[in-house]
Amino acid sequence: MPKIEVNERLFFSLLGRRCGASELEELLMGAKAELDEWDATGGAESDESRTIKIELNDTNRPDLWSTAGLARQLRVRETSRRPEYPFFSREGDERKAKRRVLVEASVQGVRPFLAGFVVSGKPISDAALKDMIQTQEKLAWNFGRKRRTISMGLYRTGIIKWPVSYKAVPPDSVRFVPLQWDRPMTLTEILREHPKGKEYAFINEGHALHPLLVDSTDAVLSYPPIINSADLGAVQVGDTELFIELTGTDMPSVTLASSIVACDFADMGYTVESVRVEYAYDTPFGRAVTFPYYFQTPVSVEAAKVSRLLGKPLDVAAVRAAVERMGCSTEAHGQYVTVAPPEYRNDFLHPVDVIEDVMMGKDMSFFEPERPHDFTIGRLSPIETFSRRAKSVMVGLGYQEMIYNYLGSGKDYVERMGIDGSAVVRITNPMSESFEYVRNSPLPGLLGSEAVSSRALYPHRIFEVGKVAFRNSKENYGVSTRQMLGFLSVHANAQAMADFNEAASQTATLMYYLGRDFELEEADDPRFIPGRQARITYKGAAVGVYGELHPRVLEAWGIAVPCAAAELDLDSLIE
Amino acid sequence: MDLASLVKTLHPLEVKVLLRYGQEEPLDAARLQAELGYKEGHANQAFSWLCAKGLAAEAGRSARTVYELTPLGREMAERGTPEERLLRFLGENGASRLPEIAAALGLEQKDVGSAFGLLSKEGLAAMDAEKRASRIAGAASARLAAVRRLLERAAAAPGGLLDESELDAAEKAAMGGMARKRGAGDAAFRASERETVIYRLSAEAAAAAAELKEAGVTGEELGAVTPEILEKGLWKSASFRPYNIRSPAARLIPGRRNAYVEFLDSVKDKLVSLGFEEFDGSLVETEFWNSDALFMPQFHSARDIHDVYYLDEPKKATAIEEPYLSSVAATHENGGPTGSRGWRYSFDREFTKRLILRSQGTVLSARQLPKAKVPGKYFGIARCFRYDKVDATHLSDFYQTEGIVLGEDVNLRTLLGFLEMFAVEVAGAKEVKYVPGYFPFTEPSVEVHIKHPVLGWFELGGSGIFRPEVTEPLGVKAPVLAWGIGIDRMALMALGLNDLRELFSPDIEGVRLRRAKSP
């Protein structure tokens, strides 16, 4: 979930008023946001240098991940006044554009879409520039999947020779000086040597041609989505005219991201000027698109459906009022409300998304909790019921119940148990060696306890009931999950060491009270001493094993007292 | 401790001493043995306890010699010393030669020889010209009488012990010939030095005795209730000695449930009581059920929330169940029949088969949908796996509590009703707050926050109404409420812990001692 830092003065000026922390927390609920950190009384510092840290929970609302966007949501919800963004072009209603970007056919197979516009009107402030860099990061990282599907660049418009061209070139055919570097590099060198190049190389690697943005004199603006030119692409506080472009792999996402950034600039008092982008190929919005561009389609919802899902009678007017508080414009068509998303949003996939905006447009207190009236019978799962029976017998036998993690190391689950490990499930991307395998038995957990508990008063009688998983080619998933019971008995009394007979008696007692007739077979489980282990069978199938643990296993765990143990597949006893 | 309380803690062994003796009398173990019939160990216990309570103190020590009957000595006491046996033989058989006597008595010749030597010296036997020994009629030996007395007294004494102070002059002289300090194996007695500790009762002892008399305590009260006491009805004419009810109880190691598991069970029981049926499932899942079926787009950053563990081998499921694969794929691509516009991308039917460790309990809800009843309520407490660095607040595997409610008429307000029920019934909350939330698979979505008496306000759980893009491809037309509650913080608090890792502690002693706080 994205976290942003907003400049306190900028935020409150965009909100239209100041407020305290607890009120801000309340307001933030209207944007599914949480106040993370704010020292509103930050000593002698002024509000111009203080920041508020805010966490945004809605990953489908990238428009909220900036100071202007978040403030807009809260402001509109408070005042019900939607801001006007007259600079948007629409289908059949194009704004005039002084500047053009030409998209060449070569880029279609690499990174096909570009949107752009120019902001002007006043010098860019420090707070606005910082915010824009943050927006760029959040959009590209969270919404654009680490720049894969969206990336963004800012340039000084004044020194660009228009029109700009967006094309794909062989990575060794071009050299330019990237930001944070002091000499020209080819694209290949950038991917190999430049920190940003190394970080994002995975996006362009493997393509014969790489995307490049140049002006009409072939001066490089940037190498999307990796790095800007140190010349045309170095934006500073005080610059008065900026060209902003976004490239990516999905036209609606690129367009939406550009709309969000344009609205943010407009809210901060800048003038947004259109840029016409001419494609050498078709896009979902045509061959030539003038940005910022409104592409969203309206969604209709029936008032009765809203009422039914929210559990409150709401008429068309009430639905419209609530949704408009969320920044949408609406029209009534009989019992239906048609909702046009605001320029900066495209999160209405289904009418239920409108219904949620109705909920958000109301206050939660509008919806009183209601006790459910459907009658249903509650019950535990059969395996839970059966497991509880087994546990009560184990407790009666004097055993302490334990519970362990299911992830562990190959050392514990395989090596120390002396098994070949071919059936143990391994993770491809473990966080660490300590959590690399899924356990296939409860015994490693129990042995781990014994290994760290030699100072606990003896006898040690411990058991666990829990899940295990192991590879099984007969399953669709190639893995079986089973509920297993394991127990371990250890004494420190030289006259009565834990042994085969004890495990036998206790298993027999357990099975008696579970009401399961079982039989025994000779077994050759490497974890137990040969000749002192028994395989438990039920209805002809092996369901467990018990006996004296092999000294090799005990030595591997650093245990110096004899251990008797058993494991039993409870699932197979109720199937 | 005041005197009255002190007196209640006295053992009968102490009581009898206090009642019998005055402050001026020197006491030692032997005296208590002789006069109170104590065993030596009991006498020493009585002194030790009385001293600890300040009712007696050591007054001095004295050394003395004790004689302990050896196994040989015990045999002599029964069968006679060689001298006695020689005299008896001569009395019965008349004059005999020494080798014949040795053979007949089974003694070695040298022993018979030395016995005869002693008897002859004391004028009890003589040797004739034919080397035949005979008894001298009418002769008696004070020494032999003393030896006999010593042997018989020692054989009857506890431990075969005789104290030097119990011997008269003749006996002392006789003992001198029979006892050895070392190499006593072929002597009748082993002599050793023992130290005797002398005690005297303290000034408080008299007051304690008076208090005992006042209370009618005699030290003869019944101790442990035995079958004999019951069979013979001895209790009818006696009183029971009161025990010190505050003496520390011995520790036991019981068989016991795990406190954390019991907590989880209590949540399950509560949910069952609210009409929920439990579901369960595989630890290993596919991308399909873990995320795709929940309408989380395969490319979307919402999947960043669920950084998952991938299986090394096998990597993919053989197949995904139809018709769900096709209906879910269509819904992702263009909304399918759900009225959604979908995510508008090309659904990857290979990626969806990827095997992972289940990362969210909602998987179980998704899997339940095709077989769920309407109305129906289901829940599960599922072990889930997250790509997290393990610390006090993160585990790589942990439990999530999740559930769904299906019903033709369920809606946002019923959802709030359930959340309120969980808050009050499961979490014991007094105040509840609902906040709009975001989850990729529900719309609308609501978080429930509660004010806990100890923890203050915190998020108890997340919930919402499943998106039609989740339910309809899985064959469910009715609205479905989905919820998840975080119970680990409550578990930590109930168990007095502050580190999630402790919930799965391997430490046997720690787990044995852990217990849930009583309500």
A381 touches chain B (CB under 8 A): yes
The fold of A97-291 is Phenylalanyl-tRNA Synthetase; Chain B, domain 3 (3.50.40)
Q: Do B261-282+361-513 and B69-193 have the same topology in CATH?
A: no
Q: List A residues 94-123 in contact with B (Cβ-Cβ < 8 A).
A: none
Strands (E), B70-131: 96-97, 125-127
Phi, psi of A536 (to 5 degrees): -90, 130
Chain centroid offset of residue B86 CA: 64
Mean pLDDT in residue range B30-39: 90
Contact check, Cβ <8 Å, B504/A142: no
Determine the pLDDT at residue B293. 96
Is the model more confident about B329 or about B25?
A: B329
Looking at the partner chain, which of B396, B479, B509 has a beta carbon nearest the beta carbon of A456?
A: B509
How far apart CA B159 and CA B155 sit, in angstroms, is: 8
B305 band by pLDDT with thresholds 50, 70 and 90: very low
Least Cα distance to A417 among A391, A390, A463, A451 occurs for: A451
Mean pLDDT in residue range A343-368: 94
Mean pLDDT in residue range B384-401: 89
Least Cα distance to A65 among A149, A13, A3 occurs for: A3
CATH architecture of B261-282+361-513: 2-Layer Sandwich (3.30)
Q: Do A97-291 and A3-79 have the same topology in CATH?
A: no
Chain centroid offset of residue B394 CA: 33
Rg value, chain A, Cα: 33
Residue A64 has pLDDT above 60, yes or no: yes
CATH architecture of A382-574: 2-Layer Sandwich (3.30)
A160 band by pLDDT with thresholds 50, 70 and 90: very high
Contact check, Cβ <8 Å, B436/A455: no
A40 band by pLDDT with thresholds 50, 70 and 90: low
What residues does each domain of chain B span?
Answer: 3-55+202-237, 69-193, 261-282+361-513
* Lowest-confidence segment of A173-182, A337-346, B77-86 by average pLDDT: B77-86
Contact check, Cβ <8 Å, A353/B443: yes
Alpha helices (runs of H) in A55-194, residue ranges in sequence order:
67-79, 126-138, 187-193
CATH 3.90.1280.20 describes domain A3-79: no
Q: If you measure CA to CA, which chain B residue comes closest to A460?
A: B508
How far apart CA A158 and CA A152 sit, in angstroms, is: 19
The fold of A299-364 is Phenylalanyl-tRNA Synthetase; Chain B, domain 1 (3.30.56)
* Lowest-confidence segment of A244-253, B176-185, B471-480 by average pLDDT: B176-185
Contacts of A452 in chain B (CB under 8 A): 506-507
Cβ atoms of B208 and B3 within 8 Å: the answer is yes
Determine the pLDDT at residue B517. 78
A133 touches chain B (CB under 8 A): no
- Burial zone of A563 (CB within 10 Å; 0-12 exposed, 13-18 middle, 19+ buried): buried
CB atoms within 10 A of CB A198: 13
Determine the pLDDT at residue B1. 64
Sheet hosting strand A51-56, strand order edge to edge: A3-7, A51-56, A33-37
- List, for residues B338-372, the tens digit of each pLDDT value: 999 999 889 999 999 999 999 889 999 999 999 99
Q: Is B194 helix (H, G, I), strand (E, B) or coil?
A: strand
Output the 3-class SS for A288-301: EEEECECCCCCEEE
A36 touches chain B (CB under 8 A): no
A474 touches chain B (CB under 8 A): no
Q: If you measure CA to CA, which chain A residue comes closest to B512?
A: A400
List the structure tokens of B271. 């949910």
Residue B202 has pLDDT above 70, yes or no: yes
Determine the pLDDT at residue B332. 96
CB atoms within 10 A of CB B245: 7
- List, for residues B369-384, the tens digit of each pLDDT value: 999 999 999 999 999 9
Determine the pLDDT at residue B518. 66
Cβ atoms of B155 and B69 within 8 Å: the answer is yes
Pick the CATH number of B69-193 from 3.90.226.10, 1.10.10.10, 3.90.1170.10, 3.40.50.2300: 1.10.10.10
**DSSP result, B373-426:** -SSEEEEEEEEEE-----BTTB-SEEEEEEEEEE-TT--HHHHHHHHHHIIIII
* Lowest-confidence segment of A5-19, A38-52, A53-67 by average pLDDT: A38-52
Determine the pLDDT at residue B304. 54
A370 touches chain B (CB under 8 A): yes
Q: List A residues 407-436 in contact with B (Cβ-Cβ < 8 A).
A: 407, 425-431, 434-435
Please enumerate in sequence order all residues whose Cβ is within 8 A of that of A422, keeping only pairs 6 or more positions apart, or say none: A471
Residue type at A323? V
ipTM of the complex: 0.91
Looking at the partner chain, which of A60, A383, A452 has a beta carbon nearest the beta carbon of B507?
A: A452
Provide, rounded to the nearest whole percent, the portion of chain B with pLDDT above 90. Answer: 47
A87 band by pLDDT with thresholds 50, 70 and 90: very high
Provide, rounded to the nearest whole percent, the portion of chain A with pLDDT above 90. Answer: 81
Contact check, Cβ <8 Å, A29/B435: yes
Q: If you measure CA to CA, which chain B residue comes closest to A464?
A: B258
Residue A44 has pLDDT above 60, yes or no: no
What residues does each domain of chain A span?
Answer: 3-79, 97-291, 299-364, 382-574
Please enumerate in sequence order all residues whose Cβ is within 8 A of that of A368, keeping only pairs 6 or more positions apart, or say none: B413, B416
Residue A2 has pLDDT above 90, yes or no: no
Q: How far is A533 from chain B (nearest CA, A)?
A: 25
A-interface mutation test, from B252, B303, B391, B413, most A Cβ less than 10 A away: B413
